C-alpha cells in the first residue's frame, strides 16, 4: 500500500477530520471540554496561520480526499543559534487506528524529511511518549530516526 499513498498540504476543509482524529485518541482531555465545532474552528485558524507567509509550520495529510483525512503530520521549522542549519520538528503525527501499519505514517515522515532537506535543515526531530504503541513497536527507528538517550525532555505547563 505504501507506494499508492499520496500526501498533500492540509487545507481548511481538512479541519473537521483532523479534529476528529485528535478527539478520538482520548489522549488530550483538555480538548474534550470544548465542542467539535470549536475544535474545527481552532484548527482552521491554525491551518490559515501555517500558510500566511510566516513559513514556520507545514501540515500534511494523506490524500484520502478533502474532508476525509485519516492521518496528518505537523512539522515546525525552527532556527537555532547553536546549529549550523534549522531543524524540522515533527510536533504531531497521528494515523487513524484502523490504518496504522499500512505505510501512511512512513509517507508522512518521508514528506517531512524531503521538505527538511529542501530547506537545508541539519536534522529532523520528534518526541513521543515511551508508553505509546508506536514507541513500543520501534516505529520511528524503522524510519531511520535514532533515540537521543542523553537528552531529557522537560516542560513547564503554563
Question: What is the CATH classification number for the domain harbouring 61?
Answer: 3.40.630.30
In a domain, 145, yes or no: no
- Count of structural domains within the chain: 1
Q: Comparing C-alpha atoms, which of 130, 19, 118 is closest to residue 75?
A: 118
Q: How confident is the model at residue 113 (pLDDT cuts 50, 70, 90)?
A: very high
In a domain, 39, yes or no: yes
In a domain, 37, yes or no: yes
In a domain, 98, yes or no: yes
Mean pLDDT, rounded, for 110-116: 94
Contact 127, 153 (CB under 8 A): yes
In a domain, 62, yes or no: yes
CB proximity list for 102: less than 8 A, separation 6 or greater: 1, 2, 5
Q: How confident is the model at residue 131 (pLDDT cuts 50, 70, 90)?
A: confident
Kindly report, residue by residue over 14-65, the tens digit of the pLDDT.
999 999 888 888 778 787 777 889 989 999 998 888 777 668 889 999 976 5
Start-to-end CA distance of the chain, whole Å, equals: 42
In a domain, 149, yes or no: no
Can you give the residue range of the structural domain that contains 115? 2-128
In a domain, 151, yes or no: no
Return the bridge partners of 72, or none.
61, 94
In a domain, 134, yes or no: no
Amino acid at each position: 500500500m505504501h507506494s499508492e499513498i499520496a500526501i498533500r498540504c492540509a487545507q481548511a476543509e481538512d479541519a473537521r477530520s483532523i479534529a476528529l482524529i485528535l478527539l478520538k485518541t482520548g489522549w488530550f482531555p483538555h480538548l474534550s471540554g470544548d465542542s467539535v465545532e470549536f475544535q474545527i474552528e481552532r484548527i482552521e485558524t491554525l491551518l490559515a496561520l501555517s500558510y500566511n507567509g510566516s513559513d514556520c509550520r507545514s501540515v500534511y495529510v494523506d490524500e484520502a480526499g478533502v474532508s476525509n483525512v485519516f492521518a496528518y503530520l505537523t512539522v515546525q521549522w525552527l532556527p537555532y543559534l547553536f546549529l549550523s542549519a534549522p531543524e524540522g520538528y515533527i510536533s504531531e503525527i497521528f494515523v487513524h487506528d484502523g490504518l496504522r501499519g499500512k505505510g501512511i505514517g512512513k509517507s508522512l515522515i518521508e514528506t517531512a524529511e524531503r521538505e527538511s532537506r529542501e530547506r537545508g535543515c541539519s536534522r529532523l526531530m520528534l518526541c513521543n511518549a515511551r508508553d505509546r504503541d508506536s514507541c513500543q513497536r520501534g516505529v520511528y527507528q524503522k524510519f531511520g530516526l535514532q533515540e537521543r538517550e542523553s537528552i531529557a525532555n522537560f516542560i513547564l505547563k503554563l
